[in-house]
Amino acid sequence: MTSVVNSPVASFLESGSKQLWIDGAWRPAADGAVIESINPSTGEVLCSFAAGGAADVDAAVAAARRAFEGPWSRFTPVQRQNVLLAFADLVDEHADELTHLDVLDMGAPIGRPVSSFTPAEVLRYYAGWATKIHGETISNSVSPDIFTYTRREPVGVVGSIIPWNGPLGSAIFKIAPVLATGCTMVLKPAEDASLSSVRLMELFAELNVPAGVVNLVTGVGSAAGAALVEHPGVDKVAFTGSTAVGQQIVRAAAGNLKRLSLELGGKSPDIVFADADLERAVPGAGMGVFANTGQVCCAGTRIFVERPIYEEFVEGLAHFADSLKVGNSLDAQTQIGPIVSQRQLNRVSGYVTSGLEEGARAVTGGRRIETDGLASGYFLRPAVFADVKDEMRIAREEIFGPVASVMPFDTVEEALARSNATTYGLGGGVWTNDLGRAHRVAHGLRTGVVWVNGYGYFDPAVPFGGHKQSGWGSELSVHSLEEYLNTKAVWVTT
């Protein structure tokens, strides 16, 4: 098992309580409050960090406003590009350390990265866009003596709130477009996993960037997060998290009609046809549910299987689930790590109980693991339920844990209708060797992303976002830049 003793991670954890990064300086929370960071693999305290509140958010927003209207506004696109590239180099240099912090803080297995690309790649991708943001000239019908053109201008101060299931990547997803467009920001990470964000700010502090461009306020959502969303000095909120909290943010943002981008929850369908290659589809659909211990917003937790292969698929999925090594996140052999907290473990276990009570067939898993030295952590054996009905809670509600619901279907039309019969619309998958059918299903699914004969691929250049109650706007790609820019029309009479 990998050890953190005498490593940069150990030095970071032992260096005292982590503070807020506001206006280019470290400071404790205004009231001195702190939160303990818990290792979900062991239940042990890693360290403590500041629990910021409304006063800290006020200070951070004011600093971001001063930077936005002051020195940062005078940075040229090339200078912003250079900031992103320099930050990418630092993130690359410290990649193992940053990854290690997420492994300890939220339980991602060290041998199975959450993302298929590195955070530095996202920064470099947006560095390329920093110099390519421009307006256009437009011919008008008023007069040939009037020159009309548009400008693309940064929205202003951005409040970014990120989740605990992939904290390092989520932080970079928010920071990169802010720097590329010339906005400034206040970052609020989830209280269950804030350490990699703190370390990111330590690295960011090494750059030649004006104070206040990026600020960090750690703390609980009901205090720091709510204050950030409601703050009249924030021009835009970029949020990744649950649909329920997203709905609260929409209501709270009404005060000054903030711009919002929301990447929310999902209950994604994964459709397996009888002609699919089951040697690929079983483990592919399985990891579409179980990757990152099921703590993925687009997890394909509703698996629809064409009836002729239904029982064969269920048996294969159960065997695959049983073969996965569940263990300490520091163990390089671990495939499934712990659930992030005792609170979340209780929540997921409650859904397992609900599935049993509502009559689903429990094929395997679903029990807490209290052997092999794992009793003090928050471990759950991946669960497979068969014969699940669409009206059951495990088929309707986002569980955010390693629980698969498998259901038979008979026709393409039925599979699409049942897949779309949800308030969510984030991801979806289809497994088939019929290319025409693959396109038909991809077009018919009311989701922001569809994977064909694979699941869960991401790339900085490809947009990711949801339909319906899975969110507004996109993460990644050029499309996300639109969320951080305003368009201004200019009329010049000569």
Residue by residue, DSSP assigns 43-97 as --EEEEEE---HHHHHHHHHHHHHHHHTGGGG--HHHHHHHHHHHHHHHHHTHHH
Task: Mark whether 263 is an active-site residue.
Answer: yes
Half-sphere exposure of 387 (CA within 13 A, CB side): 8
Cα 235 to Cα 13, 257, 275, 277, distances in angstroms: 34, 8, 50, 49
Cα angle for residues 492, 74, 70 (degrees, 5° grid): 105
Contacts of 130 (CB under 8 A, 6+ apart): 77, 78, 80, 81, 84, 179, 180, 181
Task: Say how far apart CA 314 and CA 361 lie, in whole Å.
Answer: 11
Sheet with 259-263, strands from edge to edge, namely: 25-27, 20-22, 214-216, 184-188, 157-161, 236-240, 259-263, 471-472
Cα 209 to Cα 62, 64, 79, 221, distances in angstroms: 17, 12, 10, 28
3-state secondary structure of 158: strand
Task: Say how far apart CA 377 and CA 257 lie, in whole Å.
Answer: 43
Cα 362 to Cα 285, 302, 351, 383, distances in angstroms: 18, 15, 12, 8
Task: Mark whether 183 is an active-site residue.
Answer: no
Tell me the two tokens of residue 6: 């005498």
The dihedral through the CA atoms of 407, 411, 415, 421 has a sign that is negative
- Catalytic option among 47, 183, 191, 297: 297
- Helical spans, DSSP H, in 358-434: 393-396, 412-420
* Placement of tokens 């073969």 in the chain: 323
Q: Are 57 and 222 in contact (CB under 8 A)?
A: no
- Catalytic option among 263, 306, 398, 475: 263
Displacement of CA 224 from its chain's centroid (Å): 19
Cβ-count burial of 264 within 10 angstroms (0-12 exposed, 13-18 middle, 19+ buried)? buried
SS3 for 305-318 is EEHHHHHHHHHHHH
Count the residues in the chain: 494
Task: Say how far apart CA 66 and CA 160 lie, in whole Å.
Answer: 18
Q: Which residues form the catalytic set? A: 263, 297
